[in-house]
Amino acid sequence: MLEQVLIAGFGGQGVLSTGQLLAHAGMIENKHVAWIPSYGPEMRGGTANCGVTISDHPISSPMVTEPTTLIVMTRPALEKFEKAVVPGGRILINSSLVEQDVKRDDVLALKIPANKIAEEIGNPKVANNVILGALIKLTGIVTIESVVESLKKVLPPRRHNMIPANQEALERGAQLAEKLS
């Protein structure tokens, strides 16, 4: 198993921390993981992205230039990275923020109204985990339990009250992915 996930959006959308959460979950399952932030001229600019590699084998190149899954939070991110996804790969779109459709027909494209679902849960901050839940359902790279376990590790104790809402977001995303795919 080798999954290379590219998460792309704007700074402030939690792109980098969502990637770290995924990498952390992979690590506690004893998989090989690597996380690379968007790195280059846009490091302090508006756009933000990160690549997460999760594998059963030692990771040679940690660069995510040909993602198996692309998660997009903004229209420019979709336009920029749509072509990079490997044939047969997946593109998960936060359709609360991006109206455009995927043009390719050789990838699985899922539109997930993550912000809408997060609002239904009652916490707009958990939108990214709705998408993460969908990714987990589609790929099986980690389990939702490992992500929840990771949240306990990466969140400071005073934020642990956020964990139930995050868990719900992950599960709602997984359910949606099962329904859509």
Among 37, 119, 155, 180, binds another protein (CB under 8 A): 37
DSSP 104: -
Q: How far is the CB of 95 from another protein (least distance, A)?
A: 29
Q: Does 11 bind another protein (CB under 8 A)?
A: no
Q: Does 12 bind another protein (CB under 8 A)?
A: no
Among 13, 14, 24, 97, binds another protein (CB under 8 A): 24
Q: How far is the CB of 104 from another protein (least distance, A)?
A: 18
Q: Counting every residue, how long is the chain? A: 181
Binding-residue pattern over the window 56 to 85 for another protein, x denoting contact by CB under 8 A: ---xxxxx-xx-------------------
The position carrying tokens 């700074």 is 11
Pick the closer one to another protein by CB: 61 or 161.
61
Q: How far is the CB of 62 from another protein (least distance, A)?
A: 6
- Closest to 127 (Cα-Cα) out of 26, 17, 45: 17
Restricted to residues 78-117, the positions that interact with another protein (CB under 8 A) are none
Distance (Å, whole) CA 86 – CA 98: 21
Q: Which residues contact 10 (CB under 8 A, 6 or more apart)?
A: 46, 47, 48, 73, 74
